[in-house]
Amino acid sequence: MSAYKKVAKVFVASRVQNLANILRTSTSDIVVEECSLSQNPENPTGISKELEKHVSEIEFLFADPDIIGQVLAHPRNKVKWAQSTFAGLDALFKAIDKLHQLPDVLISRQTGGFGQKMGEYVIGQIIARERKFDIMRDLQKQKSFDGSQLYSYRCLNSLSIGILGFGTIGQEVVRQCKAMNMNVWAAVRDERFDSGENLNHSVDNFVPMSRLNEMLTEVDYLVNVLPSTPKTRGLLSDKLHFCEKKKTIFINIGRGDIVDDNSLITAIQNGWLGGAILDVFNTEPLPSTSELWNLPNVTISPHVSGITFAVEVCGVQCFGFSDSFMNIFLTFNNEIFQIHELNSDYNSYRLH
C-alpha cells in the first residue's frame, strides 16, 4: 500500500439521507464536504448552486448518478473518482452522453444489498396479492369477520415466475423465489444462452431473448429487472399479448421504459395481463393524469423497491488511490472490491 496516497477530501451531494454524517464517522481522517442540492434559479435543471461553487475543487465525489453526470459535464470539473450511491447508471450515462465520450475518470457504484431488498419486494407483493391482503384491510375497516373472499388462494409453490434481467439483482430474486419453491424461468441474451456462461442451475427453465414469447406464455408472474438500454427500451411493448394464456401479473422493478404506457394499459384493459405491480415508470413521478392510477389490479409504489441506505454506501474503512488512479480500494461490508472503469458498460449503453 506504499504506492497509495490518502484521499484528503470527499465531496458529498446526494438525496440519500444522512450520507455525509455517516461518512464522516466512518472516515475520521478524511474531510467530508456536503453540498446542498438547491438549484440555481438561473439554471433549474443543471448543477446545484453549491456544487457550481466548488466544482473546480472536487476530485473525489460521493453522489447520485444524475448529479455525477451534471458535475462531469461541467467544463471546470476536475473529478478523478466518483462513487455513485445507486446501482443503476442510466441517469449518469444520459448526462454524459451529451459529451459523446466517457470522461477520463474512475466511476464506481453501490451494488450491495439491492438484490435482497428487491427480492423481498417481489416476494412480498406476490404474497400480498395471492393472499388478498388488500381485502383483509378492507374487511378490517368494515369491522367484518366474513372471510369467505379469502378462502381461495394460490400458494407460491404452485406458481411459475419469469425473470427478465439475470445479473446480480436478478439472481438474488431467483434465489428468493426458489426458496419459496416457485418454478423459475429466466430470459437471457442469446449469446449468453448459447455459451451457457454463468447460467444458474437453480433456474428451472432458461430461454434466449429471441424466444422470450415462450416464457411469457408459461409464467404466472413476470418480473423485469433489466436496466434501460437501447436494446431493452420497449422490449415488451409488442409482446404482452403472449401473457394472455396465464393472465400473467407483471412486476416492474427495473426501468419503466421496458414497455410504453399505452401498450401496458392496453394489455391490462384487454385482459392479457392479470394485473401489474409497478415500482418504476416511463415518467417519474408518475403524472396524476396517468390512467395507471385508476386501473383495477394495478399496484403502484414510488420507486422504493431498492432504496439506498446511507450506512451501506458509507461502509467504508479506507480510501486510497495510486499515482495512475487505476485502482481504488474500498471496504464495503467487510469485503474489498477493486473498482473498474465502466467503458464497456457505457459502450453497451450507447451502441446496443
pLDDT at 344: 45
Number of domains in the chain: 2
Amino acid symbol at 228: S
Rg of the Cα trace of the chain?
22
Do residue 274 and residue 170 come from a single domain?
A: yes
Q: Are residues 262 and 346 in the same domain?
A: no
Same domain, 173 and 282: yes
Q: Which amino acid is at 193?
A: F
Instruction: Assess whether 195 and 279 both reside in one domain.
Output: yes
What span, in angstroms and rounded, lies between the C-alpha atoms of 27 and 318? 7
Indicate whether 314 belongs to any domain: yes
* CATH number of residue 241's parent domain: 3.40.50.720
Q: Is 286 domain-assigned?
A: yes
Check whether residue 92 and residue 139 sit in a common domain. Answer: no
Give the pLDDT of residue 310: 81
- The residue assigned the cell 479506507 is 318
Give the three cell numbers for residue 225: 429487472
Whether 68 is covered by a domain: the verdict is yes
Residue 264 — pLDDT band, cuts 50, 70, 90?
very high
Q: Are residues 169 and 293 in the same domain?
A: yes
Based on the domain organization, do 80 and 210 belong to the same domain? no
Q: E-strand spans in 22-91?
A: 31-34, 39-40, 43-48, 60-63, 81-84
- The better pLDDT of the pair 63, 318 is held by 63
Give the residue-averaged pLDDT of 107-121.
Answer: 84
- Domain presence at residue 2: no
Q: Grid coordinates standing for 12?
A: 458529498
Q: What CA–CA distance (Å, rounded) separates 78 from 59?
A: 6
Q: Is residue 120 located within the same domain as residue 196?
A: yes
pLDDT at 347 over 90: no
Host domain of residue 34: 9-110+309-351
Asked if 66 and 93 count as a contact pair (C-beta separation under 8 A), the reply is no
Pairing of strands 329-332, 81-84: unpaired
| Tens-place pLDDT, residues 296-327 | 999 999 999 998 888 777 654 444 444 333 33
Beta bridge partners of 33: 11
Q: Which of 127-131, 292-296, 308-312, 333-337 has the lowest mean pLDDT?
A: 333-337
Q: At what angle do helices 168-179 and 114-130 cross, to 10 degrees?
A: 40
The CATH code of the domain that includes 105 is: 3.40.50
Percent of the chain residues topping a pLDDT of 70:
82
Q: For position 330, what pLDDT does the model report? A: 42
DSSP for 294-324? G-TTEEE--S-TTPPPHHHHT------B-TT
Q: What is the mean pLDDT of residues 218-247?
A: 97
Instruction: Judge if 68 and 187 occupy the same domain.
Output: no
Residue 322: per-residue pLDDT: 40
Residues whose CB is less than 8 angstroms from the CB of residue 127 and which lie 6 or more positions away in sequence, other chains included: 133, 156
Residue carrying the nine cell digits 455525477: 68
Q: Are residues 147 and 240 in the same domain?
A: yes
214: its cell numbers: 415462450
Tell me: do 343 and 247 sit in the same domain. no
> Quick one: which H or E segment has residue 24?
helix 19-26
Per-residue pLDDT tens for 175-194? 999 999 999 999 999 999 99
Q: What is the pLDDT of residues 30-39, one digit of tens each?
A: 789 999 987 6
154 and 249 fall within a common domain: yes
How does the average pLDDT of the chain come out, rounded?
85
Domain limit, last residue, from 274, 300, 326: 300
pLDDT of residue 42: 62
